[in-house]
Structure 1
Amino acid sequence: MSADGFPARQIRAAFTEHTVTVYQAYPPQIGEHAARHGEFPESWSRSRMTWVKPSFRWMMYRSGYGTKPGQEVVLALEISRAGFESALAQAVLSHYHPEAHLDQADWARRLKQSAVRVQWDPERDLDLNPLTHRSLQLGLTGRATRDYADHWLCAVRDVTPLAHRVRELVRAGDQVAAAALLPAEAPYPPVAAEVARELRMSPQQS
């Protein structure tokens, strides 16, 4: 358990019976098209690694509440839970960890073979300061990127106005009102024990 009272490495997300919401931020020519049509434009590369984040606050940190160049449009993307969980099942930590891998050579081999990698980065508060518990970042490449765009994606929403409104309230010192606007994120249902061990997740609660 972290000093913040949360498990140190736990997936927290907005999810339904069938979908889970992740966030990304893009320049207008990509983000606006995706929100309007529910799919990425032809200019969106399926050959590059793309990172998705279930944490709205971490996306606010990454994009500066949708103000950083090239990240002006913040998207909430609903993807299938089946796709999300298949990604977790094949994921490898982006950094070597002695408790998860036999040795560095074993880790490097598995990382090269996998189309999915995981990072646990510090979660952020509304002022974008780091907290002591971690937030999942899921990196997709190769087949996983194509599956994400062409098979897992169920719906796309432009949440840039929400990002800007939360930022305005934070800058005005009204943390309570800002927090009330945040998407509700809850602990994600337990994943397979071997996946949890591989990804160095905190002990799961049933």
Structure 2
Amino acid sequence: MPPQREIRADFDRDTIVVYQAYSPQIAEPALDAQRFVSPFSFHRMTWIKPSFLWLMHRSNWGQKSGQERVLAVRVTRAGWEQALSLAVHTSFAPGVFASPAEWSERFAEAHVHVQWDPERSLRGAGLPHSSIQIGVSRHLIRAFTDEWIVGIEDYTPRVRKIYDFLQSGHADRAKRHLPPERVYPVNGDVARRLLIGDE
């Protein structure tokens, strides 16, 4: 069984893929520009997720209103690791902070938020291990859009194909189209603060 918390992702030596789902009004200009541009909001937090199946659960396979287009956003590992190094949990984590008051102060000042949610199976069931979500605040969002992003790919056709296989009872065929994900290495101090590997 996997550890309670680990990052699983599609990554190579220099980059990592994170997933987001948007309306066509946001997705199409982003695909054209290969970065996020207006009407994408630069004034609020954007959440990035390396787990494909978690986003499929969240967006109902791209069927929720405003989440019809699924984007695979390839970012630099340097940018991703900067985000991890700055991330503060969205709730008090004993062992990371000395007290709820210390956590509250750090959280209020944080430019990056982190939360762990149950990972999802192909059919959306909650699994006993967790998936990481990273919230990039307005203070860092320009670095995300202008410096970290290497490319943006429209995964919507892939999502529809997998969903169609699932709906027609061909789960094995659906699995063959899932993006590859493997354990992403995280160094000791950051892993400790993010509770990676904890039971």
TM range (shorter): over 0.9
Counterpart for residue 144 of structure 2: 148
Gaps of 5+ in 1: none
Runs of 4 or more, structure 1, over 4 Å off, are none
Task: Decide which moves more: 143-152 or 64-73.
Answer: 143-152
Q: Is the 8 A contact 2:118 2:128 kept in 1?
A: yes
Correspondence 1:41 to 2:31? no
Correspondence 1:159 to 2:155? yes
Correspondence 1:10 to 2:6? yes
Counterpart for residue 179 of structure 1: 175
Q: Deviation per CA, 1:7-40, whole angstroms, max 9, x where unpaired?
A: 1100000001111000000000111111222011
Q: Is the 8 A contact 2:87 2:114 kept in 1?
A: yes
SS at match of 1:143: coil
Alignment partners' CA distance in 2, 1:106 and 1:194: 18
Correspondence 1:52 to 2:68? no
Q: Deviation per CA, 1:27-65, whole angstroms, max 9, x where unpaired?
A: 001111112220112221111001000011011011111
Gaps of 5+ in 2: none
Alignment length (residue pairs):
198
Q: So what's the TM-score if we normalise by structure 2?
A: 0.97
Counterpart for residue 74 of structure 2: 78
| Aligned residue type for 1:185 | E
Correspondence 1:139 to 2:103? no
Q: Is the 8 A contact 2:26 2:38 kept in 1?
A: no
Correspondence 1:129 to 2:122? no
Counterpart for residue 98 of structure 2: 102
SS at match of 1:121: strand
Identity %: 42
Counterpart for residue 169 of structure 1: 165
